[in-house]
Amino acid sequence: MSCVLCAGDGGLVVARTAKFRVVRAIDGEEARRFPAFYRLIWADHVAEFSDLGLADRHVCVDSVTEIERVLRALLAPTKINLASLGNVVPHLHWHVIARFDWDSHIPAPVWAAAQRDEPSGGAAARLAQPLQAVDAAIAAALSR
Amino acid sequence: MSCVLCAGDGGLVVARTAKFRVVRAIDGEEARRFPAFYRLIWADHVAEFSDLGLADRHVCVDSVTEIERVLRALLAPTKINLASLGNVVPHLHWHVIARFDWDSHIPAPVWAAAQRDEPSGGAAARLAQPLQAVDAAIAAALSR
């Protein structure tokens, strides 16, 4: 009955509104391989995007877009990946992930098998900006 | 320089508007394992969701929502999966996939490793409705 995204933050909180929070993944392999991995987590426990009304869906996707824009502006990724899956945790959340031509999985999805070794020195060191600057820019974009 | 989603339909076209088309995956392993696998493919060749203006983003996501609603209403899936990745084909397209507790990959993403054998008799035979009825309902929903 318990939901991990109701019970806890699910990552490092970088922004919070009445409707949702944005977290950065900080644990485990995914954070190490894909350091610019953010999630918009809807505050209410709903499973599917279509469980939201029109206005909330637009708030949600406009905010996902703001995160995407910050990642593009600061990190110039090869590609942005957006996804709302929720097979394991059916509480609405959107993955917003900056992908790079040097990351361990490109062009495969982050959930697939690795295509190559992780970059020497670590993936986070390859980013054009420190993650703290990205976090702050996302917080600023969502407070406008 | 050529883009497969500019050069071809990319699946069985079930709906087409001035802004996008919706196709159902009909080729290979993905269509066999995940028969209710639809894609909304934006007509213009843009790579990222944030390349669209606000009105187009809302048209896009409202239409993705319509597809999701049809899948939920007709097929009662365990979960809907939405994703815009484009690492291989950077032409904006949204995956809208009905997932089931009997499918070969649940709860993993469709891009991960299989978790079990495919259902005997085939996945399509497990659906509550023929795919042609789902296709028609999507076309009707998007023409309203």
> Could you tell me the pLDDT band of residue B144, with boundaries at 50, 70 and 90?
confident
B88 interfaces chain A, CB cutoff of 8 Å: yes
What is the pLDDT, as a whole number, of residue B30?
93
> How far, in Å, CA of A71 to CA of A94, rounded?
15
pLDDT per position as a tens digit, B119-132: 999 999 999 999 99
Task: Report whether pLDDT(A121) > 70.
Answer: yes
Q: How many angstroms separate the CA of residue A129 from the nearest CA in chain B? A: 21
- Candidates B50, B78, B111; nearest CB to A65: B50
Burial class (CB within 10 angstroms; exposed 0-12, middle 13-18, buried 19+) of B113:
exposed
Chain position carrying tokens 């109701």: A6
Sign for the pseudo-dihedral over CA of A138, A17, B78, A27:
positive
Query: Which residues of chain A make contact with B64, given a CB cutoff of 8 A?
Result: 49
pLDDT per residue over B81-133, tens digit each?
A: 999 999 999 999 999 999 999 999 999 999 999 999 999 999 999 999 999 99
Q: How far is B81 from chain A (nearest CA, A)?
A: 4
According to the model, what pLDDT value does residue B1 have?
62
Distance CA B2, CA B91 (A): 11
Contacts B111 to A, Cβ<8 Å: 108-109, 111-112
For range A82-93, the mean pLDDT? 98
CB B115 within 8 A of CB B33: no
The answer, for A47 touching chain B at a CB cutoff of 8 Å, is yes
- Give the integer Cα–Cα distance in Å for A63 and A84: 14
Q: In chain A, which among 111-140 make CB contacts under 8 A with chain B?
A: 111-113
How far apart are the C-alpha atoms of A2 and B78, rounded to whole Å?
Answer: 18
Q: What is the pLDDT of residues B30-49, one digit of tens each?
A: 999 999 999 999 999 999 99
Q: Residue A1 pLDDT more than 80?
A: no
Among residues A38, A34, A40, A39, the alpha carbon closest in space to that of A99 is found at A34
Tokens of B48: 């990222």
Backbone torsion region of residue B76, taken as left when φ is above 0, otherwise alpha when ψ lies between -120 and 50, otherwise beta: left
